């Protein structure tokens, strides 16, 4: 597998030469551009006029793909959702109220120090502005680390009530994630997690944080680092964050992980991988990312999260695979015991500087995903594109931003330094790993066990649950797979008191109607971080987990099976499940 990283007009072309490992050829996954040719969807290009002069103009992918005449229709490729003309509006700043730390059940003040500000419309940066290039944290030079530390120190040394102050900036995450605002005109809490807003909101959050830091050190090229946990050398806490004398340090992190490799399947208090386990964990991590991109390529809601429209409560929707994976890093970095401050709890997560490095890579994952899809917009729906948030910017203004203005980093004049993508070439290692696991389990026992339907009643995951689940269609053709994704749907996920929780999901092929000796293939996980979305005036709602299994079924040679064995393995927290189904989700029209 190969996933090419597209160039922008301002990153040195040498980074994208034919010798770069990113430009391995694989036509099935390569975006429709070639090395040396102009990228179709860069932000700023030069256009030659009839008189021979050159003028700057802007091309962004929403205009290219939705038509310059404007957005007139909307289609949603998510089962049961339809466009209702309800984009999310910015909150009423004058109506901020106490938020909730869902783990401690305490009311907390996350209101910003501005409640009657004059809100102005955001203007994307000029094409003449220098491009900020974000680099991997573990590759920063000593000078670059010191410059980052100086910027953080300057932010921490401001007056506590300054909107630029480190704590005020950190509190923004609590404001939008723990229920400090209601959606305008409703008593439904405003929440950006658990839906298609997760990625664009955090993109803007990092964007303004980065520019404020640059302003503080008077450097308009300053770029924040990202923690690239998708590469073997990056699957450790970057050393720059572990110096106890540095302003980047946070003492609440799990110190047991300071030297340990990151395991994407981590649950609280798991032992650290050692010896040969380390290489196996790294390979398993890479295989997980490989599948995440493959399964969601044609159905963006699986990667981005399901639609959320004004007036809808978030927990009725579902997080995308990118957000679920991101939750694991929060749990792994933060402390393993309640109340999980700082990184382990959304209320306090942004108080740890590593949060921004982590989210830098989350944002990069979205950038790679959009390029993987050929820069087609994930959703053509105005309810996504026209949804808006407010932020305090580097010019000390409160600005209203819209999703449609952040569809690519280049629109905001920043980019990610190109890096080798080891997960893009991991196919053979994944197959070898599966054979080893299968041989290991069959060596233990070849005993087959009966499997029954999940049933009509909710079940608490106090122990592993195995259920036989009927598929909607077997032996689908290539064209049928291009038209619709096969999705495993875990319904009515209810976490006790909204606290932290995790369960893993495996899919196996029945053997004469019975479950085999192992769980089958790992399909994904439900991972929840403590955060407040409930209140006395707000009804509680259950979440769901949707996992693409189209390529998974090819891998386990189960395309011809009319049923599957689905195994739910509880890892931590008290979780109740209402049911398990497999559905076909029709893709949006890509034209």
Q: Quick one: how far is CA 5 from the chain centroid?
A: 18
Residues 6+ apart with CB under 8 A from 319: 193, 194, 195, 198, 305, 327, 543, 545
Alpha helix locations (H) across 58-136?
61-66
Nearest to 298, CA basis, from 139, 456, 163, 486: 486
Residue among 288, 299, 326, 358 flagged as catalytic: 326
Residue among 288, 351, 359, 533 flagged as catalytic: 359
Q: According to the model, what pLDDT value does residue 551 have?
A: 95
534 is catalytic: no
351 is catalytic: no
Q: According to the model, what pLDDT value does residue 147 have?
A: 98
Residue among 193, 257, 358, 533 flagged as catalytic: 193
Full strand arrangement of the beta sheet holding 398-402: 119-121, 398-402, 388-392
Nearest to 243, CA basis, from 153, 164, 171: 153
Q: All domains of the chain, ordered by start, with CATH? A: 99-416 (1.10.1280.10), 445-586 (2.60.120)
326 is catalytic: yes
Cα–Cα distances (Å) from 14 to 2, 17, 410, in that order, read 19, 5, 18
Residue among 257, 330, 531, 533 flagged as catalytic: 330
Q: According to the model, what pLDDT value does residue 215 have?
A: 98
Q: According to the model, what pLDDT value does residue 532 have?
A: 54
In sequence order, what are the beta bridge partners of 582? 488
Residue among 122, 148, 197, 202 flagged as catalytic: 202
Measured CA to CA, the distance from residue 555 to residue 431 in angstroms comes to: 8
Residue among 122, 173, 372, 534 flagged as catalytic: 173
303 is catalytic: no
- Please tell me whether the overall predicted TM-score, pTM, comes out greater than 0.75 for this model: yes
Asked if residue 272 lies in contact with residue 257, where contact means CB atoms within 8 angstroms, the answer is yes
Residues 6+ apart with CB under 8 A from 212: 155, 164, 169, 393, 394
Q: According to the model, what pLDDT value does residue 1 have?
A: 41
Residue 192 token pair = 């950006």
Cα–Cα distances (Å) from 28 to 297, 415, 587, in that order, read 11, 25, 18
Angle at 75 between CA 69 and CA 77, to 5 degrees: 145
Residue among 198, 222, 303, 346 flagged as catalytic: 346
531 is catalytic: no
202 is catalytic: yes
* Pairing mode, strands 575-577 and 514-515: unpaired
pLDDT of the chain along its 591 residues, tens only? Answer: 444 333 333 343 333 233 333 323 333 333 332 222 223 334 565 433 333 333 333 334 433 333 322 333 333 333 333 444 699 999 999 999 999 887 888 899 999 999 888 999 999 999 999 999 999 999 999 999 999 999 999 999 999 999 999 999 999 999 998 899 999 988 888 999 999 999 999 999 999 999 999 999 999 999 999 999 999 999 999 999 999 999 999 999 999 999 999 999 999 999 999 999 999 999 999 999 999 999 999 999 999 999 999 988 765 568 999 999 999 999 999 999 999 999 999 999 999 999 999 999 999 999 999 999 998 899 999 999 999 999 999 999 999 999 999 999 999 999 999 999 999 989 888 988 877 666 655 555 557 888 899 999 999 999 999 999 999 999 999 999 999 999 999 999 998 766 899 999 999 999 888 888 789 999 999 999 976 554 433 445 688 999 999 999 999 999 999 999 999 999 999 999 999 999 999 987 554
Helix (H, G, I), strand (E, B) or coil at 533: coil
């Amino acid at each position: 597998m190969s996933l090419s990283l597209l160039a922008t007009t301002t990153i040195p072309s040498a980074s994208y030469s034919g010798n770069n490992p990113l430009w391995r050829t694989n036509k099935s996954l390569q975006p429709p551009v070639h090395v040396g040719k102009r990228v179709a969807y860069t932000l700023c290009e030069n256009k030659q006029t009839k008189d021979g002069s050159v003028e700057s103009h802007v091309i962004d992918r929403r205009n290219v793909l939705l038509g310059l005449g404007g957005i007139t229709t909307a289609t949603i490729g998510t089962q049961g959702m339809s466009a209702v003309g309800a984009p999310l509006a910015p909150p009423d700043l004058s109506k901020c109220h106490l938020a909730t730390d869902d783990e401690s059940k305490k009311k907390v003040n996350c209101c910003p120090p501005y409640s009657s500000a004059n809100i102005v419309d955001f203007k994307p940066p000029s094409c003449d502005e220098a491009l900020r290039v974000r680099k991997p944290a573990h590759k920063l030079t000593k000078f670059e680390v010191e410059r980052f530390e100086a910027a953080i120190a300057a932010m921490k040394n401001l007056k506590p009530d300054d909107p630029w102050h480190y704590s005020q900036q950190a509190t923004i995450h609590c404001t939008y994630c723990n229920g400090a605002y209601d959606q305008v005109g409703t008593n439904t809490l405003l929440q950006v997690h658990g839906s298609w807003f997760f990625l664009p909101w955090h993109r803007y959050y990092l964007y303004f944080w980065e520019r404020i830091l640059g302003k503080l050190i008077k450097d308009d090229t300053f770029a924040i680092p990202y923690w690239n946990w998708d590469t073997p050398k990056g699957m450790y806490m970057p050393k720059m964050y572990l110096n106890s004398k540095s302003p980047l340090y946070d003492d609440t992190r799990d110190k047991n992980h300071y030297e340990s490799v990151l395991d994407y399947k981590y649950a609280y208090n798991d032992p650290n991988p050692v010896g040969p386990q380390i290489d196996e964990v790294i390979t398993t991590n890479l295989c997980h990312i490989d599948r995440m991109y493959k399964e969601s390529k044609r159905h963006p809601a699986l990667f981005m999260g399901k639609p959320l429209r004004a007036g809808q409560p978030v927990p009725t929707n579902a997080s995308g695979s990118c957000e679920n994976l991101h939750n694991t890093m929060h749990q792994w970095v933060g402390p393993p015991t309640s109340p999980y401050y700082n990184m382990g709890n959304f209320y306090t997560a942004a108080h740890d500087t590593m949060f921004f490095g982590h989210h830098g890579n989350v944002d990069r994952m979205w950038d790679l995903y959009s390029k993987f899809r050929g820069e087609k917009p994930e959703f053509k729906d105005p309810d996504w594109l026209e949804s808006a948030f407010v932020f305090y910017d580097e010019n000390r203004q409160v600005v209203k931003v819209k999703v449609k203005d952040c569809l690519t980093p280049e629109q905001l004049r920043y980019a990610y330094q190109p890096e080798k993508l080891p997960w893009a070439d991991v196919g053979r290692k994944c197959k070898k790993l599966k054979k080893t696991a299968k041989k290991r389990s069959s060596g233990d026992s070849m005993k087959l066990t009966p499997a029954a339907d999940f049933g009509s009643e909710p079940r608490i995951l106090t122990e592993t649950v195995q259920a036989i689940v009927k598929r909607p269609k077997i032996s689908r053709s290539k064209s049928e797979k291009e038209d619709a994704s096969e999705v495993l749907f875990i319904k009515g996920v209810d976490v006790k008191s909204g606290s932290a929780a995790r369960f893993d999901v495996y899919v196996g092929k029945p053997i004469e109607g019975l479950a085999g000796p192992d769980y089958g293939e790992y399909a994904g996980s439900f991972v929840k971080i403590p955060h407040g979305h409930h209140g006395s005036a707000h009804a509680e709602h259950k979440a769901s987990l949707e996992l693409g299994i189209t390529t998974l079924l090819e891998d386990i040679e189960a395309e011809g099976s009319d049923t599957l064995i689905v195994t739910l393995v509880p890892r931590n927290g008290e979780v109740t499940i209402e049911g398990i189904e497999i559905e076909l989700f029709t893709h949006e029209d890509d034209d």
